[in-house]
């Protein structure tokens, strides 16, 4: 292992600390009673509060000035200035804690615990006067140094910012330390799921868990990841969706069930796609897709208000407004609106000609439904910035949705599109077992034609439907995509703590 000069020096400091009888990684509990943000928001010189505080965090900067120094401590809530005096932390004859340890053996990134009292410096900065200091964990690898300079008008200028995506995504732990706005993004993501969970719980729906390892994959059109169970000697698949298991629970008598699920799809990666992703699926008995559209509008509007205090969210150059009601198009209306072509009565040969006239290149294995989906994706989706419902899809595109009650050849399905991408998908669920079997068989034929994303036939699911499933509305909403919008993030990798990446090159590989 090649070590830098700083890494070698820090390892030497670690050894010297041990020689002084100081454990660089002590086990004892350090009791915290305050946080940086809380102190800065609530300290009052008149009340003289926070006179006995204990904080812990990383040392992020130091200004050594002889017998006293200023430094900056960063805890989970933010940063605060600390004042360290030799005579306070190392009284009497033993000056090693300040002269040797603090000045010479502590580094940026080390974890320390401090005790002291809060005061305001002559330049008006809220700070902690340290009366006791303890090393809690020695950092052996230097952090990238990011500097912020604030001018007299309060404008911030950042120098040496950590912006390299390869580094940030691969070493997210460093990204979180030096870029506080990244931590804020993930806090908002958790607030989003909490808001959604509170909304669904408030309606009385039951949160459940269903299998991730499945003997048959289903519930979506996607390629699965495949594995093998040694004891059972059987092939298993990582789920691509949890739809079919949740519907089994509706058959079993639950009126409303939902799950925040990790799903896995063995397909391409982009700034909108990661092989492992999160979605929330909801199924409610005795409802239809019109009812589910109203629920989505209400729930997402609530999420925006909970996160931002307004229905308007800035996403790049667009201000997106989630206030109800949202615009609605049927799929054929949307295609005609953006292309001036009515494809509603076209069969596969005409659809291929139309796609070619629009410069859309198609895989020859695609069936009618996938061709329509390609036309919509290329010609319509990028233009739908404000939240919009696209409804009434061709039956070939939706093997799990109920046939439309009045429109031949269509199903009762909608997608919500926002900022040019799908954020949710919903149906009036197909509960006719005979029709469902026929749809599965059609999917098998598409698979024989080479469609690698065609669904498989699930006999146990069909058996469940034969026992009877009530009319049901179902919804899948992409948590990662919605998080991108609600946090103004350009890439799905920005809202995943640890996105999937290519293997890291070693130094030997780099030299080849």
Q: What is the pLDDT of residue 90?
A: 83
What is the H or E stretch that residue 296 is in? helix 289-308
Q: How far apart are CA 49 and CA 119, in angstroms?
A: 9
**Residues within the annotated binding site for Mg(2+)?**
415, 422
What is the H or E stretch that residue 292 is in? helix 289-308
In angstroms, the Cα distances linking 127 to 109, 194, 252, 278 are: 19, 34, 60, 42
pLDDT band for position 169 (cuts 50, 70, 90): very high
Q: Clarify whether residues 286 and 410 are in a common domain.
A: yes
Q: Clarify whether residues 295 and 411 are in a common domain.
A: yes
Kindly state whether residue 156 falls inside one of the protein's structural domains: no
Q: Clarify whether residues 279 and 418 are in a common domain.
A: yes
For the chain, state the CA radius of gyration: 29
Q: How far apart are CA 207 and CA 204, in angstroms?
A: 10
Q: Clarify whether residues 187 and 139 are in a common domain.
A: no
Residue 114 token pair: 């401090």
Kindly state whether residue 94 falls inside one of the protein's structural domains: yes
Q: What is the pLDDT of residue 396?
A: 85
Rounded average pLDDT over 22-35: 97
Q: What is the pLDDT of residue 269?
A: 86
Q: What is the pLDDT of residue 509?
A: 55
Residue 1 token pair: 């292992």
**Residues within the annotated binding site?**
415, 422
Count of structural domains, the chain: 2
Kindly state whether residue 502 falls inside one of the protein's structural domains: no
Query: For 474, phi and psi rounded to 5 degrees?
Result: -125, 150
pLDDT value at 156 more than 80: no
- Find out whether 70 and 82 touch, Cβ atoms under 8 Å: yes
Q: What is the pLDDT of residue 507?
A: 58
Reported as a single tens digit per residue, the pLDDT across 435-452 is: 999 999 988 988 888 887
Rounded average pLDDT over 89-112: 88
Rounded average pLDDT over 154-168: 78
Q: What is the pLDDT of residue 456?
A: 87
Vertex 19: Cα angle to 15 and 21 (nearest 5) = 115
Kindly state whether residue 61 falls inside one of the protein's structural domains: yes
Q: What is the pLDDT of residue 490?
A: 94
Rounded average pLDDT over 384-407: 94
Reported as a single tens digit per residue, the pLDDT across 475-500 is: 999 999 999 999 999 999 999 999 99
Q: Clarify whether residues 75 and 213 are in a common domain.
A: no
Task: State which residues form the domain around 395.
Answer: 182-326+386-495
Rounded average pLDDT over 492-511: 81
Q: How far apart are CA 247 and CA 250, in angstroms?
A: 5
Q: How far apart are CA 361 and CA 327, in angstroms?
A: 29
CATH of the domain at 320: 3.30.930.10
Q: Clarify whether residues 391 and 483 are in a common domain.
A: yes
pLDDT value at 406 more than 50: yes
Closest CA to 214 of 182, 243, 175, 172: 243
CATH of the domain at 89: 2.40.50.140
Q: What is the pLDDT of residue 221?
A: 83
């Amino acid at each position: 292992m090649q070590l830098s000069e700083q890494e070698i020096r820090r390892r030497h400091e670690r050894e010297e600390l041990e020689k002084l009888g100081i454990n660089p990684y002590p086990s004892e509990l350090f009791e915290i009673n305050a946080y940086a943000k809380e102190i800065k928001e609530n300290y009052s010189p008149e009340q003289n509060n926070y006179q006995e505080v204990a904080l812990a965090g990383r040392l992020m900067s130091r200004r050594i000035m002889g017998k006293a120094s200023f430094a900056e401590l960063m805890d989970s809530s933010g940063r605060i200035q600390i004042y360290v005096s030799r005579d306070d932390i190392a009284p009497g004859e033993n000056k090693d804690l300040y002269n040797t340890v603090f000045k010479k053996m502590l580094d940026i990134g080390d974890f320390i615990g401090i005790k002291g009292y809060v005061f305001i410096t002559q330049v008006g900065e809220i700070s902690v006067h340290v009366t006791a200091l303890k090393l809690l964990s020695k950092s052996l690898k230097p952090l990238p140094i990011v500097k912020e300079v604030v001018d007299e008008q309060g404008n911030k200028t950042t120098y040496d910012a950590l912006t390299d995506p390869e580094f940030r995504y691969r070493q997210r732990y460093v990204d979180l330390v030096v870029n506080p706005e990244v931590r804020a993004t993930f806090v908002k993501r958790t607030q989003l799921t909490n808001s959604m969970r509170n909304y669904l719980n408030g309606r009385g729906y039951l949160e459940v868990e269903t299998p991730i390892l499945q003997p048959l994959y289903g519930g979506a059109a996607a390629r699965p990841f495949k594995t093998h169970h040694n004891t059972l000697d059987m092939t298993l698949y990582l789920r691509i969706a949890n739809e079919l298991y949740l519907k089994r629970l509706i058959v079993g008598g639950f009126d409303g069930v939902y799950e925040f699920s990790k799903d896995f799809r063995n397909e391409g990666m982009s700034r909108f796609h990661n092989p492992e992703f999160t979605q929330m699926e909801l199924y409610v008995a005795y409802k239809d897709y019109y009812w589910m559209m109203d629920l989505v509008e209400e729930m997402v509007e609530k999420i925006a208000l909970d996160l931002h205090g307004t229905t308007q969210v800035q996403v790049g150059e667009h201000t997106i407004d989630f206030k109800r009601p949202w615009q609605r198009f049927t799929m054929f209306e949307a295609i005609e609106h953006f292309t001036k072509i009515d494809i509603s009565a076209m069969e596969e040969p005409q659809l291929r000609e139309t796609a070619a006239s629009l410069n859309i290149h198609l895989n020859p294995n695609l069936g009618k439904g996938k061709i329509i989906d390609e036309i919509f994706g290329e010609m319509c989706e990028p233009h739908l910035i404000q939240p919009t419902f696209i409804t009434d899809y061709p039956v070939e595109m939706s093997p799990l949705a109920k046939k439309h009650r009045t429109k031949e050849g269509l199903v009762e399905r909608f997608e919500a599109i926002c900022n040019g991408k799908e954020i949710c998908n919903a149906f009036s669920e197909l509960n006719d077992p005979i029709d469902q079997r026929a749809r599965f068989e059609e999917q098998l034929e598409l698979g024989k034609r080479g469609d690698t994303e065609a669904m498989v036939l699930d006999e146990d699911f069909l058996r469940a439907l034969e026992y009877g499933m009530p009319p049901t509305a179902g919804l899948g909403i992409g948590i990662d995509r919605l998080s991108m919008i609600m946090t103004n993030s350009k890439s799905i990798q920005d809202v995943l703590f640890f996105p999937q990446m290519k293997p890291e090159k070693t130094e030997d590989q780099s030299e080849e």
